[in-house]
Structure 1
């Protein structure tokens, strides 16, 4: 954690639904692109920012409703994976309908959904039922909606399991739900937040002789 200066500020922004300057469309697109497991900083973020330039700043996708009404043909020049777009359009559609039914804006809709979306029954949740949304994507959206939790991503798993092994900690990590609860227990024991522990596992990885926190510091300020 000492190697991740600025992590708390980034996690505060995530929990306040203020990533990408509070643009929920970009948060949903980020989560959808990330759902297929490519390198986050080298593959996902540049494409999200390219989408922003073409469709948000210069185009006509200003809210979740407009995102949900796109077709893959209109956006595949940015990102070819149809599974990702199905996730993006479907999540946007559900959150827009939720917001419209309750008189909420996009940010309020995401936060309302996240606060009421539980871990145990995630597969029964409307977003959990979307084809292409696994528990990692589901948890990622909850985090950006204000829930202090973690994702059972492969890197998060590897780092946490190494820590537990070194500390001879007897905490279950066999399935994804058990793993998320174990991160919660580690957070409680250490005084850190689960979201901080989760992001720490990615940001302490080395790339090009630097930890990612240092290498991508400027990008983290942007996203």
Structure 2
């Protein structure tokens, strides 16, 4: 998930580019026991995996995220959950993960969502779908990311859906068959 977030942050197509590369990394390094935890990933020599992904910035972002999370707990899932629970959207730029160069608001929100926070990531797909719905209901589209997050959270309260559900429904509305491709 950390690698997924870092690879996606460079703006490539998630299903066509990121998912296959994550699966390659998992096959070559995770399933073989070369990377077993956030801590081991934080200390991983990514030069050994440049044949999978050539962007050094992405590797550095992923390693810094892993290093920060691995300091929280020895249990990777618990680390992500504890970090996410304590994180906030209001102070995201000063957060230990948010201040990593290369981690933007979308990556930050994605990690919070994966850690169990009911929120939304304001990526271009989600914004397009939600803004189309807003326009169809006579409301103006929302371009500012922070305002967009608040708008989706309000829509969630009004509709009974969770923000995270609205986010993923937006991602899969035109390609429901892709749900099973998520790493």
Query: For the superposition of Structure 1 and Structure 2, which TM-score range results when normalised by the shorter chain?
Result: over 0.9
Higher relative contact order (CA 8 A, sep 6+): 1
- 5+ long unaligned stretches in structure 1: 1-26, 206-211
The one of 38, 42, 47 equivalent to 2:12 is 38
Aligned-pair CA distance for 1:169: 2.5
Q: Does 1:219 align with 2:150?
A: no
Structure 2 gaps, min length 5: none
Residue number in structure 1 paired with 2:22: 48
| Distance verdict in 2 for CA 1:217–1:173, change over 3 Å | closer
Instruction: Kindly state the Cα deviation for residue 217 of structure 1 after the two structures are TM-superposed.
Output: 4.2
Name the CA shift for 1:217/1:134 in 2 (closer, same or farther; >3 Å).
closer
Q: 1:109 to 1:121 in 2, by over 3 A?
A: same
Aligned counterparts of 1:187 and 1:169: Cα–Cα separation in 2: 16
| Counterpart secondary structure, 1:168 | coil
Which of 38, 44, 64 is the matching residue for 1:90?
64
Cα deviation for residue 126 of structure 1 reads 0.8
Query: C-alpha separation between the residues in 2 aligned to 1:36 and 1:183?
Result: 24
Task: Please report how far the alpha carbon of residue 174 of structure 1 lies from its aligned counterpart in structure 2 after TM superposition.
Answer: 3.6
RMSD over aligned Cα atoms: 1.4
Does residue 144 of the first structure (1) align with residue 114 of the second (2)? yes
Aligned to 1:21: none
Residues 181-209 of structure 1 show CA distances to partners (whole Å, capped at 9, x for unaligned) of 1000111111111111111111113xxxx
1:107-126 equivalences in 2 (<5 Å): 107-126=77-96
Quick check: 2:113–2:164 contact (8 Å CA) kept in 1?
A: yes
Deviation string 1:72-129 (CA, Å, 9 cap, x unpaired) is: 3122111111121111100000011122xxxx41110110000010001100101000
- Counting only pairs closer than 5 Å after superposition, residues 94-105 of structure 1 correspond to structure 2 as 94-99=68-73, 104-105=74-75
What is the Cα deviation at residue 173 of structure 1? 2.2
- May I ask how many residue pairs the two structures share in their alignment? 183
Conserved? CA contact 1:86–1:131, under 8 Å: no
Tell me by how many angstroms 1:59 deviates. Answer: 4.0
TM-score, structure 2 as length reference: 0.95
Is 2:171 the counterpart of 1:202? yes
Q: Which residue of 2 is the match for residue 79 of structure 1?
A: 53
Would you identify which runs of 4 or more consecutive aligned residues in structure 1 move more than 4 Å?
none
1:126 match: secondary structure: coil
Q: 1:218 to 1:161 in 2, by over 3 A?
A: closer
